[in-house]
Amino acid sequence: MTDYAVVNPATGETVAAYDTFTDAQIEDAVARAASAAVTWAATAPADRAAVIRRIAELHRERKDELGAIIVKEMGKPIAAAVGEVEFAADIIEFYADNIDRITADQPIDIAGDGTAIIRRAPLGPLLGIMPWNFPAYQVARFAGPNLAIGNTIILKHAPQCPESSAMLEAIYEDAGLPDGAYVNVYATNDQAATIIADVRVHGVSVTGSERAGAAVAEVAGRNLKKVALELGGSDPFIVLSADDLDAVVQNAVDARLDNNGQSCNGAKRFIVVDDLYEEFTSKFVAALAAVDAEDPTEEDTVLGPLASLAAAERLQEQVDRAVEQGATLLTGGTREGAFFAPTVLADVTPDMDAYREELFGPAAVVYRAADEDAALEIANGTPFGLGSYVFTTDAEQAERVADRIEAGMVYVNLVLADSPELPFGGVKRSGTSRELGLLAADEFVNKKLIRRA
């Protein structure tokens, strides 16, 4: 059975295909992860850190090869693909650098005599179900903190990422992990459910769509397994005031086109106060219309194809439906194969599907807001709550708006500012947990109380 394949979205060519694992291979992967969990958990944190640091080094040494594979698998521009691998290395290195903080005992002030501490202990093998949009980065932010804690990793990547997932497995193995501490599997959804149900597996993390998250959470719930969910987003970009509107517009363009518009926390809804709306929209539309979707293998390419023809067709259907329901198309709305022109919609109202949907690609919606309260009403008017962006010259207003936004992350007067130490995650239908930062290392851990007389 061949579910895993590299289909170059820029050309439509099927480059290579790989058979899914047999049930026997799945059993072997779980058994190896369970066996390695004993060895890896017993390894001193300093020794774990040395291996994890080597994983980061190998990412950097092999960034060009892995970046080229990512371009071939999902169409990311080559400069961004190599940058993704470098960022993955930074993330992994962060957990090596902070392993003492991650694993340190936490004293508790108690009533009465004696002492009490919280000791963080690994749970054991974990299943990670990863998406195609960031093939290296997503793995790093799941594997990095959990390997630091002492857990082992079974990694099911997206079916369109078989070669990057295999190369990542080689990187983790070559760094010196015990056999089975990181295992890549080409698994079907049914096999993934079997892994989740296995008594030797103690948790599952999934990054993907709401549908995928709900399906995994259902299986995990039936089997009483811890589940971490990082799902979709329709992040608001709120413009309330500006000293330099051109700079704000450039931030808006950068935030929308990042990763070919296929970032869960990419700005997608641009909410602008009335007195800036016309000028912002005119400049924003002109800036996006000037960007062409081009060959992702070229170093200066800003926008490549969507990750697949199906993704482009899905976005086309959403844009067309929005126009049919009364939205105004200001630019774009067309595609050639998987290449989608930068697109801006206006006049989207709450009775339209586009008001609540996530547009996963280089398509933006602009909204006019009468004032701060109206902007917040629009910003919070979706089922999502991942990230958000606020642009204002008023520091007090920034604090006030940040408090009122229903999101897991708020960035004030900047975009594309993710960093290894900053926690990543959302609320509402955008997820249930946190990745990156020290909080990520608290997701799959036994916070064991030890009370002494």
Question: Are 44 and 109 contacting, i.e. CB atoms less than 8 angstroms apart?
Answer: no
DSSP string, 53-81: HHHHHHHHHTHHHHHHHHHHHH---HHHH
- The number of beta carbons lying within 10 Å of the beta carbon of residue 214 is 13
Q: Cβ distance 406 to 435 under 8 Å? A: no
The one catalytic residue among 84, 173, 230, 435: 230
Containing 411, the helix (H) or strand (E) segment is: strand 411-412
Return d(Cα 241, Cα 342) in angstroms, integer: 25
Q: In the 8-state DSSP scheme, what is residue 292?
A: P
Paired tokens of 229: 């969910």
Please measure the distance between the N-terminal and C-terminal CA atoms of the chain and give it in whole angstroms: 59
Distance between CA 181 and CA 266 in Å, rounded? Answer: 33
What is the Cα–Cα distance from 145 to 438, expressed in whole angstroms?
8
Phi-psi region of 150 (alpha: psi -120 to 50; beta: other; left: phi over 0): left
Establish whether 230 is a catalytic residue. yes
Distance CA 378, CA 26 (A): 46
State the DSSP string of 89-139: HHHHHHHHHTHHHHH--EE---SSSSEEEEEEEE--EEEEE--SSSTTHHH
Phi and psi torsions of 150, nearest 5°? 120, 5
Say if residue 417 is exposed, middle or buried (CB neighbours under 10 Å; 0-12, 13-18, 19+): exposed
Nearest to 285 by CA among 334, 328, 344, 366: 344
How many Cα atoms sit within 13 Å of 185 on the Cβ side?
33
Determine whether 161 is an active site residue: no
Residue type present at position 65? E
Closest CA to 407 of 234, 249, 251, 256: 234
* Catalytic-role residue among 169, 264, 357, 358: 264
- Strand 226-230 and strand 203-207: the pairing is parallel
DSSP designation for 439:
G
- Hey, which residues are catalytic here? 230, 264
